[in-house]
A and B are shown apart, each in its own frame.
Chain A
Amino acid sequence: MVKNIKLIAVVFLVIVSFFILLKGLNKTNNYSPNLNSSNIDFNFKAKFLYSNEETTLYELINDKDFSLINIWASWCLPCRDEHPYLLNLNSLGKLNIIGINYKDSEVNAKKFIKELGNPYSKIVVDPSGVNSIELGAYGVPETILINNTSKTILKKYIGPLDDKKLAELKMIIKNEN
């Protein structure tokens, strides 16, 4: 009887661990953060790309209903791919698109904008990457949609924009209005 209990226990344990591991196989390994946490520090200080003045996020966002913060760099290839989407969004006229130039040289950043067009109403630089960390960003490219009146994050995308994300952004803007 005792032997039986031991056998059953072992079989049971094996089965349980099998299913736990099986479940683990299907689970994605990458940690996906809580993207909609509305924690954002508006006292963030940064310098403009085209002038030497310092500004805060408060001053940057108070134009229109929504702000779109886009973190980019000239050395970042996906940023090149997503640039047409930003230009497209800018043509809507409802968004105040703020560019944060991440760990870039001034010359290259300006060249990038000259070459591909400027969807941004304002561009600030983040040479050390500290401002991006303060925004809770992971790297480039990253896009954050902010409601200017309620000062909350509506949506955050890690990685380049694409057709799907563009449609989603447009939907959110439409519904919120």
Chain B
Amino acid sequence: MKIKILVLTIFYLIGSFNLSYAANSEKVDQISKNLRCLICQGQSVYDSQSDFALSMKILIQNKIDEGKNDEQIYDFLKSKYGEWIVYDPEINKNTVLLWVLPLILFVFGGILILRKVSIK
């Protein structure tokens, strides 16, 4: 009986360790997919095997282990490398057109369609 419990506990521990480990590296993948690899154009940190990207992934893992959340990690990297490192650009003077233009086009297109339909 005792052995059974012991074996079960060990399995449980191994299982939970694996689970938490998997969850963590999934998180690294998730964050690194949103980061631009700055020295390899057109790739995310997740896709890249460059030294820069590999180090970046280790750093993200370290930060997660320290208990930092996604937001803090993104902010940290932004403070080091600037806005460009994240794929999700914030709304500011330079990016306002990027955010507003699709909306304008959408509304404009909608108006065109409506007019076409109502004319018929």
Contact = CB atoms under 8 A, between A and B. Distances in A.
B79 A133 contact: no
Given A134-B59, A138-B39, A31 B51 contact: no
A135 B79 CA distance: 10
Contact of B82 (A33, A102, A103, A132): A33
* Chain A, interface residues (CB within 8 Å), range: 10 to 19
B103 interface: no
Interface string A141-165: 0000000000000000000000000
Contacts of A37: 79, 82
A117 interface: no
Contacts of A136: 80-81
B62 interface: yes
Interface in B58-92: 58-59, 62, 79-82, 84
Given A29-B41, A138-B38, A138-B39, A130 B82 contact: no
B89 to A, nearest CB: 13
A135 B55 CA distance: 12
A33 B85 CA distance: 10
A103 B55 CA distance: 9
Interface in A80-119: 102-103
A72 to B, nearest CB: 13
Interface of B: 38-39, 41, 51-52, 54-56, 58-59, 62, 79-82, 84
